[in-house]
Structure 1
Amino acid sequence: MKVLWPFVRMLGVHRGWVALGVLLSLITLLSAIGLLTLSGWFISASALAGVTALGAKQFNYFTPGAGVRGFAIFRTVGRYFERITTHEATFRVLAHLRSWFYRRLELLGPARLQSYRSADLLNRLVTDINALDNLYLRVLVPTLVAGAVGLLVVLFLAAFSVAVAQVTAVALLLAGVLLPWGAQLAGRRAGRTQLLAISALRTRLLALVQGQVDLQIYGGVAPAVEQVHQAEVVLQKTQLRMAMINGLTTAMMTLIAGGAGIAALILGIELVHEEVLVPAQLAMLVFCVLAVFEAVAPLPLAFQYWSKTSAAAGRLVEITEQKAEINFPDQSVEPEQPGRVEFNDICFRYDKAAPWVLEHFSLSVCPGERLLILGHTGSGKSSLINLLARFHEPDSGSLHLAGQPIQAYDEPTLRSQMSVLSQPVQLFAGSVADNLRLADVDATDQQMLHVLAQVALNDELGEDPLHYQVGESGSRLSGGQRKRMGLARALLKPAPLLLLDEPTEGLDARTEAVVVGAMLSHFRGRTLLMISHHLQMAEHFDRIIVLDRGTVIEQGAPEELMARAESRYNQLRAV
């Protein structure tokens, strides 16, 4: 219960809907029991009254008939609004949970989340949170209502027969406490296994769909499908076990209810013989005893899935209780020199057991300067962006942005100081305009068309490029078009620092020249740090930095480096 307690407290956010759902459930269940109880008395009393003409003439059919109709109406209307209310409360709680969980994920940042697969996080966000609907809809509400209804019915029965009330109370304890407890024990292992099996199946299905092209090319479809089949077999076995447990508990519930009804009938017959009860009251008590088990009938199934619910809550808490590696201050300093960047003796690695990615790295960039950073794969180029974006913290050294320590900025201020094109480019299903407005929600159509022209995309997307649908993850665009879409989005953001990671990857030489030339000529005044393997247009940058194993091995103006016959820059040009 400890792992579920935080989620129980969250029900307080929608306590009005929660309380209304409990109240309507109580009214509906009492109406159902009242309907069957009153009907039992009414039918029996009517039959006895009809034995004699005088009895039939004196019998009041109207009042109990109105009561039966009233209970029926309350039961029908109450059930309708109870379902609407409890499900509305459940959906609101689940929506709140998803927002809460996503906010916790966002706070952890890439440094903490890189150890989790995206499919696993998606399963926790969807499957595990969906499993928590069992907590309110099938556990809390039915348990509270069953307890209240059981107590009221036992008190009602005790007014006519203490013995019948005692038998009913014992039967309710068996059906409402012992049987759910047994179902919870029986379903403990299967429930947890079922949750993990659903997660494994969805992960494999997602991998199968996302990797379909490569699987087709390399002949890996059959093994991937077989893995999906094996995961499905595991899930089906757990579902079969849970279904068998449910069938057994349903049979036990029927047996207990039937036994309580028979015991009430036997005790009631003796009370009729002793003239403590009239015959019509006997039928009333028996029907009441049978009806009250509707209150406890849902409990075994709900508690059978208790372990699944607890496991889902545990998987969520496992993520949300982690501490973020990057913490932003509540109050921010003001940038003094927008566009200035200073790396001072930075040492950084992604894991303590891994080699240094940047080792005693120092670099100073002036506002408005345009730098081209060169180096082979693994030389530490992309790590510079990760540090500037504060996705990671350096192990030692200091990093200043706009004349202030980067740790002194709150997150909104830090994000406003830079625009980043990372690898790979992430596009979202929707139009070109939808993707561009992520950079600037207030951007006009003219501004977006202008930036598309700068990256040579305006003529490739039809007559109305802003409304062109890019597809899931940009699937309707080529690799070069996706890269240029990401670049256009980065250029659109009005930030003083522009960080571009391989912006011309996948472009032909002509398009690359057009894009880089337009970027350098139309976006003057902004500091530019461009990471690239390509040397075309390199002479148009103010300075070139060459990295190797996390260290600056060469830097200078393009003409200065070209003048050195043995410079690494000239060696790269000769390749």
Structure 2
Amino acid sequence: MPNVKRLYLKLLLQERKMALLGIILAVLTAYSGIALLAVSGWFISAAALAGLSAVAAHAFNFFAPGAIVRGLSISRTAGRYGERLSSHEATFRIISHLRANLFRLISRMSWSEQQLNRHETSSRLLQDIQNIEAIYLSAILPAAVSFLVMIAYLITLYIVLPSLLPWVIVPLLFATFVMPWLYSHRVLASETKLHQQHSQQWLSASALLSCMRTLTLFERLRDSGHFLQQQAQETDQEEATAVQRQQAVLLLTQLILIIMTVLVFWQGLLAFQHEQLDGAYAFMLLLLTLGSAEVLLSNCPALANLGLGLAALGRLQHSLIATPEQPDTRHFNHTSSPKLSVQINHLEYSYPQQHRPVFEQFNAQIKGPGWVWLSGHSGVGKSTLLALIYGQLKAKNGTIDVNGISAEQIRLMPQRIDILRTTLRDNLTLNLTINEPALWHALQLVELDHWAKRLPQGLDTWLGEGEWQPSGGERKRIGLARLILQDPKLILLDEPTAGLDSALAEKIYRELRTHWSDKIIICSSHELHFTATQDQSIELTAG
């Protein structure tokens, strides 16, 4: 299993030239901004002092400092522009490779078991990916700039007034290292709890909306609304408390930097009184400290962003380790045996975090061709069995022996049919090359040919979000038409006619029986009145 932290470090090293260029330009921008403030302060104060006497004013060189100010201003603007280009380019390059690698790893995991469609799981995953992507731009870059600004500030103080170093070293170290660590601790301590509260609030709101009619009938809507409101208030209070704690750390950091600035100005004035320092340089040190303090203050969130990113990498690594790829327990014998059959032997399966198994020593024998109907009340494992045969889920124990059929000749039609935002033709072919007569024949078998002809552009009508929206029954029949065009040997249907009226469903089943007469069709459905005498039936019961 690949190490996700090493993967990110590898990608960062691959883009090290652009990333280092971004850091260098960011440091140049910070240096130019601080120097511009300090030199401007020195220039103004020196010019003011020179203007006190005619001789000094005549001898004072106004042009060189003015040129320095203009040069620093230009370098700050150019550096900021170049830093934005290079740092964001490095970020986008890292993100492009990172997303490809992360989603490649994620796609190998058994997310069907982890229920990726759950809000808590999916939102956590997306938030983690965003935190990982922000490591360079929001953590490494500002931290490097702050550290180099601190070093440059200490060197400048040593050159101009060495006696200042003992006064500023302690508050400077606190502002650079201790306060960012404290801020990071505040952020990380509340991040997980807030995410859980937001997820629980979303689930409660979703349940309220989906069960509104039932709650209204039983006069429980008001109580559920109060409960949701209470959850929202608790979440808002927790979030406000977390923000207040973070702001308190920032305020304390500002206070430390203000104390440092006062100490620098005080020592600068003492040095001026003892003629150890020119008055203009004392004012320059004050502005130099203020400019450096502004950069150091922005360093507080950097360590927190780094902590969030590393925690996200750790969670993703844990998920990859916790869900190792299970070996395929299906065995295919499609060369030596022309007979179509599926033999299920001692099948065992249970979902993670569920103590009760879905299947325990389950056995079944299916002989083809023909239709096999899965019956049983909701929750006994009909959809799970189809997913196990299809290979979407992997059994813990037992085997599924498939004869006369290869893995590529199995297709599953789930309960929910996804419609792509493209033409009806592409929604049917799914990137396969299929001639138009075959498309119309498939539509005719599922009673969609007249509907398709009435569309504005026929097969070239766009479907999906913001386009022509098929109804629930039309979606089901589009899913069946896809299977007809793919022409598999083993067809797995999960509630294929749910939402269709009985007469239309019976007509479609009759057409499909004729068209799929040489295949095995395993159908999970509560509508068992469509079964025929020659069909096989498997009744599932709760384990």
Q: TM-score range by the shorter chain?
A: 0.7 to 0.9
Aligned positions of 1:237-248 closer than 5 A: 237-248=237-248
Q: Which residue identity lines up with residue 144 of structure 1 in the other structure?
A: A
Distance 2:240 2:77 in 1: 34
In structure 2, what is the equivalent of residue 571 of structure 1? none
Within a 5 Å distance, the mapping from 1:54-453 to structure 2 comes to 54-83=55-84, 85-87=86-88, 89-90=90-91, 99-109=100-110, 112-114=113-115, 118-132=118-132, 135-208=135-208, 221-303=221-303, 312-313=312-313, 315-324=315-324, 326-327=326-327, 336=335, 340-343=340-343, 345-350=345-350, 353-354=356-357, 356=359, 359-365=362-368, 369-373=369-373, 375-377=375-377, 382-394=383-395, 397-401=398-402, 414=407, 416-422=408-414, 424-428=415-419, 430-431=421-422, 433=424, 436-437=427-428, 439-443=430-434, 447-453=438-444
1:481 Cα offset (Å): 2.8
Q: Deviations over 1:206-239 (max 9, x none)?
A: 4455666766676665445444433322332233
Structure 1 portions without partners, runs of 5+:
405-412, 552-575
Separation in structure 1 between the aligned mates of residue 82 and residue 440 of structure 2, nearest angstrom: 52
Partner Cα separation in structure 2 for residue 440 and residue 4 of structure 1: 33
* Alignment partners' CA distance in 2, 1:109 and 1:4: 18
TM-score (norm 2): 0.82
Question: Alpha carbons of 1:339 and 1:325: their partners in 2 closer, same or farther (altered >3 Å)?
Answer: farther
CA contact (8 A) 1:97 1:129 kept: no
- What is the Cα deviation at residue 161 of structure 1? 1.8
Corresponding position: 1:548 with 2:539:
yes
- Partners of 1:335 and 1:291 lie apart in 2 by 75
Distance 2:220 2:14 in 1: 48
Partner-residue secondary structure (3-state), 1:163: helix
User: Does the residue aligned with 1:293 lie in a helix, a strand or coil?
Assistant: helix
Matched, 1:45 2:37: no
Point out where structure 2 has 5 or more consecutive residues left out of the alignment. Answer: none
CA distance in structure 2 between the partners assigned to 1:508 and 1:370 by the alignment: 24
Q: TM-score, normalised by structure 1?
A: 0.78
1:505, distance to aligned residue in structure 2 (A): 3.4
Cα deviation, 1:302-356, whole Å, max 9, x if unaligned, reads 4467766666555444423322352369xx9995368844315343343674374
Deviation at 1:495, TM superposition (A): 2.9
> Aligned partner of 2:44: which letter?
I
| Corresponding position of 1:573 | none
Change (3 A) 1:217 1:90: farther
> For 1:549 and 1:434, how far apart are their aligned partners in 2?
38
CA distance in 2, matches of 1:190, 1:394: 38
**1:190 counterpart letter in structure 2:** S
Q: For residues 425 and 200 of structure 2, what CA distance do their matches in structure 1 show? A: 33
CA distance in 2, matches of 1:328, 1:70: 67
Deviation at 1:124, TM superposition (A): 1.3
1:497-512 map, 5 Å: 497-512=490-505
Letter in structure 1 aligned against 2:362: E
Q: 1:471 to 1:143 in 2, by over 3 A?
A: closer
Q: Which residue of 2 aligns with 1:515?
A: 508
CA contact (8 A) 1:498 1:527 kept: yes
2:480 pairs with 1:480: no
Deviations 1:12-65, CA, capped at 9 Å, x for gaps: 465455333322321211111111111122112222332333433333222221
- Count the aligned residue pairs: 529
Match of 1:401, SS state, is: strand
Q: Is the 8 A contact 1:138 1:302 kept in 2?
A: yes
Q: Which amino acid aligns with 1:107?
A: R
Identify the residue that residue 460 of structure 1 maps to in structure 2. 451
CA shift, 1:494, in A, is 4.0
* Offset, 1:147: 0.9
Distance, in Å, in 2 between the alignment partners of 1:434 and 1:221 is: 45
Q: Using the TM superposition, give the Cα deviation of residue 180 of structure 1 relative to its aligned residue in structure 2, in angstroms.
A: 2.0
Residue 324 of structure 1: SS of its match in structure 2?
coil
Indicate how the Cα distance of structure 1 residues 290 and 26 shifts in structure 2: closer, same or farther if over 3 A, else same: same
Aligned-partner Cα distance in 2 for 1:90–1:203: 34
Quick one: distance in 2 between partners of 1:456 and 1:7? 51
Distance 1:314 1:207 in 2: 31
